[in-house]
């Protein structure tokens, strides 16, 4: 199932983790373990924000990955289902 991992990194802890290299290391781990189909980086509510789209396979590993990101950056990490237009159209057919 395609998922979107949203990572919101507070300014203070984000700046520290960017300077000491732990943010880069955490995002390398995310890329290696999730092999995402896409990743976008932006700002939201004054925080660094990442939107990472991936295929969910092994949920315990994803929980460990959350912890890696949280410990490195102090981030808020949320996963949500991410549907394509076609998948959404199919899901709402018949309503």
> What is the set of domains in the chain, with CATH numbers?
2-92 (3.30.70.260)
pLDDT digits (tens, 9 = 90+) for 70-83: 999 999 999 999 99
User: Cα separation of 59 and 55, whole Å?
Assistant: 11
Percent of the chain with pLDDT over 90: 87
For residue 7, pLDDT beyond 90: yes
Band of the pLDDT at 59, cuts 50, 70, 90?
Answer: confident
Tokens 């990955």 belong to: 65
Q: Which of 31, 34, 20, 3 is nearest to 73 (CA)?
A: 20
Please name the helix (run of DSSP H) or strand (run of DSSP E) that holds residue 36, with its range, or none.
none
More confident call, 93 vs 40: 40
Q: What pLDDT is attached to residue 70? A: 97
């Amino acid at each position: 199932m395609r998922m979107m991992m949203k990572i919101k990194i507070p300014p203070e802890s984000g700046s520290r983790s960017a300077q000491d290299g732990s943010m880069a290391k955490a995002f390398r781990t995310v890329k290696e373990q999730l092999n995402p189909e896409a990743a976008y980086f932006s700002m939201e509510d004054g925080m660094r924000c990442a939107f990472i789209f991936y295929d969910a396979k092994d949920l315990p590993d994803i929980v460990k990955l959350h912890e890696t990101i949280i410990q490195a950056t102090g981030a808020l990490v949320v996963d949500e289902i991410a549907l394509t237009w076609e998948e959404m159209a199919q899901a709402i057919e018949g309503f």
